[in-house]
Each structure stands twice: as structure tokens, then as C-alpha cells.
Structure 1
Amino acid sequence: MKTIQAGMLVDRPVTEVVLDEAIQRGQVRQKSGLQATSVRFVEPCLAVSFIDGSGVLLPVQHYPEFDDFDVEDFANLKVGFSGTALCHEGKDLHVSIAGMISASKPLMDMAASVIASRNGRQSSAAKAEAARANGRKGGRPRKTDVTD
């Protein structure tokens, strides 16, 4: 998993405009889909639940961030950053849930399969017109073998 160092943010005064922009960014982020509501340790995994009632089990041995954790440390893990990260204040740990999921090859393979299936069902106006045109010609043209 990639570790990102936090940068220094320059303080700027909070005005109505800045506050409105921050609220708007938060609403967009909340609609983006990934919003965990809880985390609990179910040895040997972290069970992360999402706002729609779904969840995922992530085996902690795959994540070096949790190597020095004991059962009590896992009990103190909280969901933070608007449901996008797991946080432990005592250890100053903030881990992206999306990053943890993306580190799992089987989960990413499943996600790719789901996305491909969903995208394959979508029909654009151009696809619909091409299908109608092929239908008027008697259907999709047969493939011809090219032999030299």
C-alpha cells in the first residue's frame, strides 16, 4: 500500500464563500458512493460496513499498517473522513478504505467484472441506431473467413 505524507496547508480565513465551497465539496464526496458507517474487528479481519448495508471483510495480515496492533487497538479503530478512512487517534493512523480495497487483487478483479458487466448493458443512441440499421439489413453481417 502506498503511504502518502501529509502536506502543510496554508491557513486561510474562513469566509462564507470558503464555507459554502467546503459544504459543496462534502456533498459531492458523500454522493460518490464510498461511505463506511462502522468498523469492527472479527479476527482475523476488519469488517467494514457501508451506508447501504453492504460490507466487506479485509484480512489485517495483508496490511502492514496493522502489524503492531493488538485486539484493544482494533477496538479503538473508528470510521473517519466522512466515511472514507479508518482512523486510530492513539497511533495517529488514517488509512483509506478505498486504498485497502484496491490492495486486494480478488476484490479489484470482482470490481472490474461488475463494471464491465454494467457498462456492457448500457446503450447509447449511436448503438441503438446501429442495431436498427443492422436489423433493416437482415441483422448483423456474418463473419467471413479470410484465407490466403
Structure 2
Amino acid sequence: MKSIEAKTMADRPVTEAALDTAIRRGQARHKGSFQVTTVSYVEPCLAVSFVDGSGLLLPVQHYPEFDGFEVEDFADLKVGFSGTAICHEGKDLHVSIAGMISASKPLMDMAASVIASRNGRQSSAAKAEAARANGRKGGRPRKPEITE
């Protein structure tokens, strides 16, 4: 049997410096992820608001997790798991907001378009050098015309 030694000791006392480091790491991780702040029911949709003030309307009919929910049940929905899930304690329901968004084809198409646009603006060293070389030659080479 292979023996593996633990890398950290659980019985080591927590110092103020270690606690401050852990808090800073948690805050940095929290800023880098999306975070929902509120969820409310605006019939027939769930209104989800993000930390920057933007929001989405997600039609509940597209999500079988909400089948059998009454209007009163929607009032008891809360944001949980550090702003990444919608929770209902009475029904023991925890639904990933990212999962709900990814289930919507139009939202995923829009996200893909935004990401492609953003990535297309990025320039690598090779792209920059090719642009300079083409500029020295008078611009991008023209494609040869095909005559038939």
C-alpha cells in the first residue's frame, strides 16, 4: 500500500498573517467570478441581477426544476453558494445559475459572439509583426483575381 504524507497540518494554529492571506485570496477569487446578488419572480420569469447591476430574465417554463412551483414558492427563492446558485430551502432545491444560462441557446449564442469579438481584438506578437511587415510592403497583399 502506498503511503501519502499530508502537505499541511490540520492542527497547526492559524496566525493573523495566514488568515489575512486567505481572506485576500478569497476576495480576489470572488472578484474574478460572476456573482448574482438578487433573484426575484417577475411572472413568467426569474429576474436575476448581477453585482455590476446588469441582469437577465430567465423563463421558468424552460427549467423543469421549477415544475410544480406556486407563486408563493418563487417568493422564497434565495441566492446561495456565493452568488452562483438559486436556492429554495423548503423544497431542497439548489440550481446553478451558470447551468440555467447555458441551457438557453440564444444566451449561449450571444456569449459566443461576444467572446469571439473580444478575442478577435487581441493581438499577439506574431500578428503585430505581420501587420508591420505588410505595412512596409504597402499594406495587405491583394488576393489575385480569378478570371474564367
Q: Please say whether Structure 1 and Structure 2 have the same fold, judged by a TM-score greater than 0.5.
A: yes
Q: CA deviation at 1:27?
A: 3.1
Deviations 1:71-114 (A, max 9, x none): 11100000011100000011111100000000000000001111
Unaligned stretches of 5+ in structure 1?
1-12
What's 1:39 paired with? 39
Residue type of the alignment partner of 2:47: A
Q: CA deviation at 1:146?
A: 6.3
What's 1:142 paired with? 142
Residue type of the alignment partner of 1:85: A
Cα distance in 1 for partners of 2:42, 2:36 equals: 16
Q: TM-score, normalised by structure 2?
A: 0.81
Please list every run of at least 4 consecutive aligned residues from structure 1 whose deviation after the TM superposition is greater than 2 angstroms: 13-29, 144-148
What is the total number of aligned residue pairs between the two structures? 137
Q: TM-score, normalised by structure 1?
A: 0.81
Cα distance in 2 for partners of 1:147, 1:20 equals: 71
What's 1:7 paired with? none
What's 1:62 paired with? 62
Cα distance in 1 for partners of 2:58, 2:25 equals: 28
Unaligned stretches of 5+ in structure 2?
1-9
Residue type of the alignment partner of 1:34: F
What's 2:130 paired with? 130
- Local SS of the residue matching 2:138: coil
What's 2:112 paired with? 112
Which structure has more relative contact order (CA 8 Å, sep 6+)? It is 1
Q: CA deviation at 1:68?
A: 1.4
- Local SS of the residue matching 1:106: helix
Instruction: Provide closer, same or farther for how the CA distance between residues 92 and 26 of structure 1 changes in structure 2, counting only shifts above 3 A.
Output: farther
Q: CA deviation at 1:119?
A: 0.9
